[in-house]
Amino acid sequence: MQKRIFTLIVICMVIALEGSTLYSAVRVYAQAENPPQEETGQETKSSNGAVQLAAPHGVLMEASTGKVIYEKEKDVRVSPASITKIMTLILIFDAVEQGKITMDEEVTTSAYAKSMGGSQVFLEEGEKQTVETLIKCIVIASGNDASVAMAEHISGSEEAFVQAMNHRAEELGMENTHFEDCCGLTESQNHYSSAYDVAVMSRELVVRYPKILEYSSVWMDTITHVTRQGSSEFGLTNTNKLIRGYEGCVGLKTGSTSIAKYCVSTVAVRNGITLISVVMTAPDYKVRFSDAAAMLNYGFGSCSLYEDDHPEQLQKIAVKKAIEKKASCKFEKNFYYLDTTGKPLDGIQKKIQMKKSLTAPVKEGDVAGKAVYLLDGQDIGRVNILAAEDVPASGYMDYLMALCRRFLPFQTKESELEL
């Protein structure tokens, strides 16, 4: 009996010892598998540590102000893949705005456009589709064939269209961008952009042409191919998975190639704030979407937007050397101010500073003054006040008529020239 008790005690001691050893071993293994997080060259935090990106390049921008809220290696030149099509869409909407094309006019697919590989909607040579349908094909399904068809329709050739793309990029101040095709299929080193430049052209597209969001927010749609073989429906599925997976997401464009890896320009709207989240060169598609969402979460959690969208009626400004003594005025644009510090924005004040007068001839758009906005006594921005009409300078006949009215016995009008 005593031997059995002794043996049981020994067994318990061994188990206890092994259990302690096993616990230590598991703890050491766990520490080895999950070492303490350290900031490396592959991860960048914002100033308050709220954002971490796994991708090497990213930008978060507020659309109305263009203010960059977060950045990581934003000016590095990388391959943009199909995000190139954002500039293609800008030029398409430019052409519509300028009256060069209409949404319902037909575009004929060339053999060259049909030959595009990669992402496509399988347009046939000679097939006709409307401009609006091809816009859907480009922004929803990232159709390379649709992009080239539109480029040829607008400029005559893809080469000429690409020249216009680069010119438009220069106008927008995109210093780290150069295009060599209209769809991003090329893997040339001379076809590049940066996270910041992508945000800039994304902002231009969604702010100047908000109608694009009607298309980029569509999850699924169909088009009808009408060819010699008959008609058939083709389904379009949005390549931006955040459309369904992130609240408020309304666009905009994804891209991926072996060189560019995975990139996305995401647009989301919440509480009147529109944010643009750009991720470039992500290692896989999950990272591009999770990084984009992380930046959006940070932005929506920290941003407050003030908009002066109901400015008061402005007084007229005096005009010298003109028959019309005064000119009406207008604000150049609405004022926006983005705060990320948590300050209350109901204390923003506006001061109107007008010139004493303008001298004719006055052209509509001439600067007549400015509105200065202050928060806690600090200047946070300003908007120009412009002449809202043309006022011609007075001529010899005007002076002669004024002299006649002065000496002839009839009543002068308030608008007549003062000598």
- Active-site positions read 82, 85, 142
Closest Cα to residue 287, out of 49, 56, 11? 56
- Contact between 80 and 196 under an 8 Å Cβ cutoff? The reply is no
Alpha carbon distance 169, 311 (integer Å)? 33
Q: Which residues contact 153 (CB under 8 A, 6 or more apart)?
A: 101, 107, 108, 131
21: left (phi over 0), alpha (psi -120 to 50) or beta: alpha
- Contact between 268 and 60 under an 8 Å Cβ cutoff? The reply is no
Other CB atoms within a 10 A radius of the CB of residue 245 amount to 10
Q: To the nearest 10°, the Cα dihedral for 126, 139, 142, 292? A: 180
Closest Cα to residue 101, out of 89, 109, 93, 113? 93
In three-state form (DSSP H/G/I as H, E/B as E, the rest C), the secondary structure along 258-297 is CCCEEEEEEEEEECCEEEEEEEEEECCHHHHHHHHHHHHH
